[in-house]
C-alpha cells in the first residue's frame, strides 16, 4: 500500500500489483494456522477413514462372537480392547461402529442444510404470505425440545436406520431454516439487491448470483455447529433402542448392550461412549474454528 | 405490561394448535394398523369394521382430530393400551418426577454456570477464561447418557457411595423428602446438569464480556462507584438475556431427561415414554409428548413475560 500512494497522488490509476487474496484462500490460511482446529480435523478424518476402510484394516470379524471369550478386559492377548458381552472383538466393533454412527450422526445435518437453506432463502427472499406460512410452521417445531422431537418421531416410526435419518432431519430443518431466513432477509434489504433488480435480472438470477453467495457461509457455519448435537442424538436414539438394530455395530447401541456388564468389566463398557464424546468434542471445536476463520458473527 | 401479556398469549394459541396437530399426526405416521394391536388375528372383516367404527377410525382425519381435541379439552387423553389405565393419570405422575429431576439439575447448573461464565467474561483472555471455555465446550460435547454410565461406574460400582437406579429405596415411585430418596436423586441430577452448565457459562461469558466493554461501565467507574456496585449494574443488564437462556434450558432439561431417566431407571416421563415406545403404546406416547411439549411452550411463555418484566425495552418490540 505504501508503494501505491505516490501514484494515487498523481491522480492516475495505480498499477495492478498483485491479485488480492480471495475469501476462501484467507479462510484456508487461517484454518491452517489454527492448531487445535487442525488437530480436531485430523482426528475426525482418522475416524472417518478408518470406518470407511475398516474391511481392509485386518481387523477381526465384528459380528463373530465367542461364548468362551466374553467380556475379556482391555489388553487381553488377541483382543487389544477386550471383547463385548457376546465375545466379539471390541476394537473391530468400535472401528466398524464408526460407519453407521458417523453416517447417521452427520447425514441428517447435510439433508437439513439443503432443505432448511431452501426454505429459509425462499421465505426470506419472497417474504409476505410465503414467509408467514413457512416461518409459522417452523415455529411450531420449536415448541419441542430437540431430544423430545427426535424420540417422538423415531418412537412412532419405529427402529431402523432410515427412520432415524428421517426423524433427525426433521429435527434440524427448523433451526437451519430460521437462521437462513434471518440472514436472507438481512441481505435482501441491501442496496446491491435493488441494483441487480434494476438491471432487469429476474428473481432466480438475483438469488443465484447475489443472494446465495452471501448467505451460504453463515448458514453453513451454523449447520456445522449442529453436527455435534446430531451425533449425540443419533447415538442416543440407538442407545434407547429406537435407532440401529442389533447386531449391527453402532456406538450408542453398543453402549446400551454393554450396560449389563458395568459390574463385571466397567471401563470396557464405557468405551463406545468415549468414541461418541471424542467425535462430538472434535465436531464442536472444528465448528468453532471454522466460525472464527470465516469471520461469521452470531 | 398487560397488553404485552395479552399479545404474547394470543401468539401462543397457534403454536399450541400446531403442537396438538403434530402429536395427533404421530399416531398417523406410525406403521401398521392401530387395530392389529387389540384385535385377534382371526377377526372377520365385519368385526374389524365394527371395531373401527367403535374407535372412530372410519371417520375422516379431520373429524378424528376434532374428536380427539374435544376429549382432550375434557382431560381425557385416552387409555394406555399396555395397562388400560387412563393416559392422563400415568403422564401426570411421571411428569412430577421429571419436574423434580429437571428442577434439581437446574438448581445445580444455573448458579455454577452463571458464576463460571461471569468469571470468564470478567477475566477475558486470561487463563481463567480459557479454562472456563474449555470446560464449557467439554460440557456441551458430553453425551450425557454416557456421562451417567461413567458416574455410575465411579460412584456406584467402584466406590459404592450412591445407588445407581430408581427414585427411592425398594423401587419407590413416590417422592418423599428424606435422605434415602435424596441419595437416589444425586447422580441423575448431576449428570443432567452438565450440559446446561456449559451452555449457561458460554452465554453469560459472552454477555458479561460485551457489557463490560460498553461506555456506561467506564462512566460508572468515573463517577466513583465501587467495583461491586458496577458489577451489580452489569448483572442487571445481563439478567434478561441470561434468564431467557436459563428458562429455555429448564424446558430442555424436562424434555432432555429422557435418556438420563433411562440410564437411571428414574420413574419420570422419559422412562414412561421409552416404555410406551417398546410396547407400541401409541396413546401413551402421544399423551406424554403432548404434555411435555405444552409444558415447554408454557415455560417459554413464562420466560418471555419475566424477561419483559425485567427489561421494559422488550415490551415495545
CATH number at residue A133: 1.10.3720.10
Inter-chain CB proximity B26 and A153 less than 8 Å: yes
DSSP B144-181: HHHHHHHHHIIIIIIS--S--SSSSGGG--S--SSHHH
Quick check: is B315 in a domain?
no
In a domain, A25, yes or no: no
Residue B181: CB atoms within 10 A of its CB come to 17
Q: Which residue of B has its CA nearest to A252?
A: B146
Mean pLDDT of A14-37: 76
User: Tens of pLDDT along A78-89?
Assistant: 777 777 777 677
| pLDDT at site B37 | 62
pLDDT at B38: 64
Q: Please give the residue range of the domain that contains residue A226.
A: 104-298
Q: Per DSSP, what are the bridge partners of residue A89?
A: A83
Q: What is the pLDDT of residue B94?
A: 85
- Predicted model pTM: 0.84
Q: Is B246 on the interface with A (CB under 8 A)?
A: no
CA dist A164 and A161 (Å) reads 5
Longest CA–CA span in chain A (Å) reads 89
Domain-located, residue B142:
yes
- Mean confidence (pLDDT) of chain A: 83
Residue A73 lies in a domain: no
**Residue B21, in any domain of the structure:** no
B276 close contact with A: CB closer than 8 A: yes
Range of the domain at B91: 87-310
CATH of the domain at B244: 1.10.3720.10
Residue B175 lies in a domain: yes
Q: What is the band of A7 on the pLDDT scale with cuts at 50, 70, 90?
A: very low
Q: In total, how many domains does chain B have?
A: 1
Q: Is residue A121 part of a domain?
A: yes
Q: By the CB < 8 Å criterion, does A48 face chain B? A: no
Banded pLDDT at A15 (limits 50, 70, 90): low
Nearest CA in chain B to A274: B146
Q: Please state the φ and ψ torsions of residue B73, each to the nearest 5 degrees.
A: -60, -25
Total beta-carbon pairs less than 8 A apart between chain A and chain B: 137
Ordered DSSP codes for chain A = -TTHHHHHHTTSPPPP-SPPPPHHHHHHHHHHH-HHHHHHHHHHHHHHHHHHTGGGTTPPPTT---GGGTTPPTTBTTBTT-B-TTS-BHHHHHHHHHHHHHHHHHHHHHHHHHHHHHHHHHHHHH-HHHHHHHHHHHHHHTTS-HHHHHHHHHHHH-SSHHHHHHHHHHHHHHHHHHHHHHHHHHHHTSHHHHHHHHTT--HHHHIIIIIHHHHHHHHHHHHHHHHHHHHHHHHHHHHHTSSSPTTS--HHHHHHHGGGGTTTSHHHHHHHHHHHHHHHHHHHHHHHHHHHHTT---
As beta bridge partners, residue B86 has B79
Mutate to test the interface with B, among A37, A105, A151, A275 (most CBs of B within 10 A): A151
Domain membership flag for residue B10: no
pLDDT tens, position by position, A139-170? 888 888 888 899 889 888 888 889 999 999 99
Among B146, B293, B297, the residue with its CB nearest the CB of A276 is: B146
Paired with A266 in beta bridges are none
- Count other Cβ atoms within 10 Å, centred on residue A62: 23
Do the domain assignments include residue B134?
A: yes
Q: Look up residue A125 and give its three cell numbers.
A: 427472499
pLDDT of residue A231: 92
Task: Give the Cα separation of A210 and A267 in Å (integer).
Answer: 54
Question: Shortest Cα distance from B135 to chain A (angstroms)?
Answer: 11
Q: Above pLDDT 70, what percent of chain A?
A: 90
- Taking CA–CA distances from B145, the nearest residue in chain A reads A236
Average pLDDT over residues A114-127: 91
Comparing B195 with A2, the larger pLDDT belongs to B195
Task: Classify residue A34: in a domain, yes or no.
Answer: no
Q: Write out the three cell numbers for B168.
A: 427411592
In this structure, what are the phi and psi dihedrals at residue A117, rounded to the nearest 5 degrees? -65, -45
Q: How many CB atoms lie within 10 A of CB B294?
A: 17
Q: Taking a C-beta distance cutoff of 8 angstroms, is the pair A270, B146 a contact?
A: yes
Of A139, A156, A241, Cβ closest to residue B29: A156
Domain membership flag for residue A210: yes
User: What are the per-10-residue average pLDDT scores of chain B (317 residues)?
Assistant: 82 88 84 67 76 73 82 78 79 85 89 89 86 88 89 80 70 65 82 90 86 83 83 81 82 81 84 83 85 87 82 68
Q: What's the pLDDT score for residue A12?
A: 57
For chain A, positions 143-202, list CB contacts with chain B under 8 A. 143-148, 151-153, 155-158
Q: Does A232 touch chain B (CB under 8 A)?
A: yes
Total number of residues shown for chain A: 298
Contacts of A276 in chain B (CB under 8 A): 143, 146
Closest-CA distance of chain A to residue B178, Å: 28
Contact flag A158-B31 (C-beta cutoff 8 Å): yes
Amino acid at each position: 500500500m505504501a508503494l501505491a500512494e505516490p501514484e494515487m497522488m498523481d491522480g492516475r490509476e495505480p498499477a495492478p500489483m498483485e491479485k488480492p487474496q480471495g475469501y476462501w484462500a484467507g479462510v484456508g490460511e487461517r484454518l491452517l494456522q489454527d492448531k487445535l482446529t487442525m488437530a480436531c480435523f485430523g482426528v475426525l478424518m482418522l475416524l472417518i477413514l478408518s470406518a470407511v476402510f475398516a474391511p481392509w484394516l485386518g481387523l477381526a470379524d465384528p459380528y463373530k462372537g465367542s461364548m468362551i471369550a466374553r467380556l475379556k478386559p482391555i489388553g487381553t492377548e488377541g483382543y487389544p480392547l477386550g471383547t463385548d458381552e457376546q465375545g466379539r472383538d471390541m476394537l473391530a466393533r468400535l472401528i466398524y461402529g464408526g460407519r453407521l454412527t458417523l453416517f447417521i450422526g452427520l447425514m441428517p445435518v447435510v439433508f437439513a442444510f439443503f432443505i432448511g437453506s431452501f426454505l429459509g432463502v425462499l421465505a426470506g427472499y419472497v417474504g409476505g404470505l410465503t414467509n408467514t406460512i413457512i416461518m409459522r410452521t417452523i415455529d411450531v417445531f420449536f415448541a419441542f425440545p430437540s431430544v423430545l422431537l427426535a424420540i417422538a418421531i423415531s418412537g412412532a416410526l419405529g427402529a431402523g436406520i432410515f427412520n432415524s435419518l428421517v426423524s433427525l432431519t426433521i429435527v434440524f430443518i427448523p433451526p437451519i431454516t430460521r437462521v437462513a431466513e434471518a440472514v436472507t432477509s438481512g441481505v435482501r434489504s441491501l442496496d446491491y439487491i435493488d441494483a441487480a433488480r434494476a438491471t432487469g435480472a429476474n428473481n432466480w438470477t438475483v438469488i443465484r448470483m447475489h443472494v446465495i453467495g452471501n448467505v451460504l457461509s453463515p448458514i453453513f457455519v451454523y449447520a456445522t455447529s449442529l453436527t455435534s448435537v446430531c451425533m449425540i442424538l443419533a447415538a442416543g436414539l440407538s442407545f434407547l433402542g429406537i435407532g440401529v438394530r442389533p447386531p449391527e455395530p453402532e456406538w450408542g447401541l453398543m453402549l446400551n448392550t454393554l450396560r449389563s456388564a458395568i459390574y463385571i468389566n466397567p471401563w470396557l463398557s464405557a468405551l463406545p461412549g468415549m468414541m461418541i464424546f471424542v467425535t462430538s468434542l472434535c465436531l464442536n471445536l472444528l465448528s468453532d474454528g471454522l466460525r472464527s476463520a470465516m469471520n461469521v458473527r452470531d | 405490561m398487560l397488553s404485552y401479556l395479552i399479545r404474547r398469549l394470543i401468539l401462543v394459541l397457534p403454536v399450541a394448535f400446531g403442537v396438538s396437530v403434530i402429536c395427533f399426526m404421530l399416531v398417523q405416521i406410525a406403521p401398521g394398523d392401530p387395530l392389529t394391536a387389540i384385535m385377534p388375528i382371526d377377526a372377520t372383516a365385519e368385526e374389524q369394521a365394527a371395531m373401527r367404527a367403535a374407535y372412530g377410525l372410519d371417520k375422516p382425519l379431520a373429524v378424528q382430530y376434532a374428536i380427539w381435541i374435544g376429549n382432550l379439552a375434557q382431560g381425557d387423553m385416552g387409555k394406555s393400551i399396555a395397562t388400560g389405565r387412563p393416559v392422563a393419570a400415568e403422564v401426570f405422575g411421571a411428569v412430577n418426577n421429571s419436574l423434580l429431576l429437571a428442577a434439581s439439575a437446574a438448581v445445580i447448573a444455573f448458579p455454577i454456570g452463571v458464576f463460571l461464565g461471569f468469571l470468564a467474561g470478567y477475566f477475558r483472555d486470561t487463563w481463567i477464561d480459557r479454562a472456563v471455555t474449555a470446560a464449557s465446550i467439554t460440557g456441551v460435547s458430553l453425551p450425557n447418557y454416557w456421562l451417567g454410565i461413567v458416574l455410575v461406574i465411579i460412584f456406584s460400582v467402584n466406590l459404592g457411595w450412591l445407588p445407581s437406579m430408581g427414585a427411592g429405596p425398594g423401587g419407590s415411585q413416590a417422592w418423599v423428602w428424606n435422605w434415602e430418596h435424596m441419595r437416589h436423586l444425586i447422580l441423575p441430577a448431576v449428570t443432567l446438569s452438565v450440559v446446561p452448565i456449559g451452555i449457561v457459562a458460554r452465554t453469560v461469558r459472552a454477555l458479561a464480556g460485551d457489557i463490560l466493554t460498553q461506555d456506561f461501565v467506564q462512566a460508572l467507574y468515573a463517577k466513583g462507584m465501587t467495583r461491586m456496585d458496577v458489577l451489580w449494574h452489569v448483572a442487571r443488564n445481563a439478567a434478561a438475556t441470561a434468564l431467557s437462556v436459563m428458562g429455555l434450558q429448564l424446558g430442555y432439561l424436562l424434555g432432555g431427561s429422557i435418556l438420563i431417566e433411562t440410564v437411571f431407571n428414574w420413574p419420570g416421563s422419559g422412562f414412561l415414554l421409552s416404555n410406551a415406545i417398546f410396547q407400541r403404546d401409541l396413546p401413551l406416547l402421544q399423551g406424554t409428548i403432548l404434555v411435555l411439549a405444552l409444558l415447554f411452550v408454557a415455560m417459554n411463555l413464562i420466560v418471555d413475560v419475566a424477561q419483559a418484566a425485567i427489561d421494559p425495552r422488550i415490551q415495545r418490540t
